[in-house]
Structure 1
Amino acid sequence: MCQHQPPCPTADSADRESARLAAHHPEQGWSLLCNGVLLFEDTGEILPDGRIIAPHRPLAGGRIVTAA
């Protein structure tokens, strides 16, 4: 999917969120990355294969919030 050189991280990479934007809709709270990841403003994600990554935004004090 990615045509960039060097290529962006794949959807399975730990750094998948650093891929370039393919579409950005801040008014709707989501962005599509060139690796096929749908990234939401609450830091949740939907991967191209349908897997869901729960929001993982940091809190004050460095803690991370994850869905239970």
Structure 2
Amino acid sequence: MCTHDPACPPAAATDHGAARPVACHPEQGWSLLCNGALLFEDTGELLPNGEIVAPHRPAATNLRVTAA
């Protein structure tokens, strides 16, 4: 149960990734949020109910590079 004020979004909410981390292991590539969700460095997620969220990296954008 989240004890933060204001409370973090629950794992079932669409903004569950906004919850505060309670354990971070960058050497292993994951963080545990206070709502029980596991976030992985490849942007995949594992929710407390066992649901897997596939990695969802932002789509590439068209960048224009100009010479200086």
| Unmatched segments (≥5 aa) in structure 2 | 63-68
| Unmatched segments (≥5 aa) in structure 1 | 63-68
The two structures have a TM-score, normalised by structure 1, of 0.86
Q: CA RMSD in A?
A: 1.2
Greater C-alpha Rg:
2
Write the deviation string for residues 16-46 of structure 1: whole angstroms up to 9, x where unpaired: 0010001000010000000000000011000
Structure 1: which 4+ aligned runs deviate by more than 4 Å? none
- Residue 22 of structure 1 corresponds to 22
Write the deviation string for residues 35-61 of structure 1: whole angstroms up to 9, x where unpaired: 000000011000001110000011321
The within-5 A match list for 1:14-53 is: 14-53=14-53
The two structures have a TM-score, normalised by structure 2, of 0.86
Q: When the two structures are aligned, how many residues end up with a matched partner?
A: 62
Quote the Cα distance in structure 1 between the aligned partners of 2:25 and 2:59: 24
- Residue 7 of structure 1 corresponds to 7
